[in-house]
Chains A and B, each alone.
Chain A
Amino acid sequence: MSIINFTPISALTGGLIIGFSVFLFFILNGRMVGVSGIASNFLISKNNRIDNLLFLVGLIFGPLIYSYFTSQKIEISITNSLFLLIGGGLLVGFGTRISGGCTSGHGISGIGRFSLRSIIATITFMIVGVLTVLMKNIL
């Protein structure tokens, strides 16, 4: 193991902002942020549909607003094949709904409330994520 590209300050700053959003959603609307839950409920359930849609719209507007005010271009790099994108998307969508949460729902909202379910879910998907990347590198 060697450490590269480590950006602790921006990571921590972004994390604090994400935590603030999660807290506001809790104290103002009484709900926990879990993006997989919000997105799938928008698709499937009539309850809070507009609220869920607006949160998702906000997620998309966030980067645009950031770029507008900082004049910084956001660079992302996705080098996956179409097969990996579709397979990965199906697994993420299906898996998060079966387990009831993703990185935000279990990893932040759940762990923040000290939910044992979420702690176990987060450890599980982290370990499997690491093993998956390891296998991708070997194959």
Chain B
Amino acid sequence: MNKLVSLFCGIIFGIGLVISQMINPAKVLGFLNLFGEWDPSLAFVMIGALIVSSPLFHLFKNKEKPIFSSSFSISNKKEIDKKLIIGSILFGAGWGLAGLCPGPAISSIALLNMSSIIFVIAMFFGFYIAKLT
């Protein structure tokens, strides 16, 4: 059942990326172009996602276990360390350079766009390099 849920959640997430147009790097770069011609749409995507998820997380956070799994596996890291900041800076730079973050990049493989495929391959190399360090 877990596997079916994973597939289903991925599909729903991907449809959300299409409807919100987050899948389009031009849209993302428009959001990051705060000091130029700004497209605030992406802020509404985040607000929409948080309006649904946040109250529901809090409503069910004391639940003993999830429906199809024996326990919740959720990060309880608290420390604000150098890795968090440096990683976020590097991610922000890459995001601003290409206009793609992991979700939309992988989703846009569906469109057989050569640019997003190249980006995703480079991103997986990035994951691997981070694992080595």
Q: How many residues of B are in contact with the other chain, CB < 8 A?
A: 117
Q: Which residues of A contact B128 (CB under 8 A)?
A: 43-44, 93
User: How far does the Cβ of B105 sit from chain A's closest Cβ, in whole Å?
Assistant: 8
From 64 to 80 in chain A, residues with beta carbon under 8 angstroms from any chain B beta carbon are 64-66, 74-80
A62 and B2 within 8 A (CB): no
Q: Which residues of B contact A55 (CB under 8 A)?
A: 6-7, 9-10, 13
B87 and A27 within 8 A (CB): no
A77 and B126 within 8 A (CB): no
Interface residues on A, range: 35 or more
A58-B13 contact given A11-B45, A28-B68, A94-B126, CB 8 Å threshold: yes
From 110 to 133 in chain B, residues with beta carbon under 8 angstroms from any chain A beta carbon are 110-111, 113, 115-116, 118-131, 133
Beyond the given A15-B45, A58-B9, please list 9 additional residue pairs across the A-B interface where CB-CB is below 8 A: A1-B35, A13-B20, A14-B48, A20-B52, A62-B107, A78-B25, A78-B98, A124-B88, A126-B32
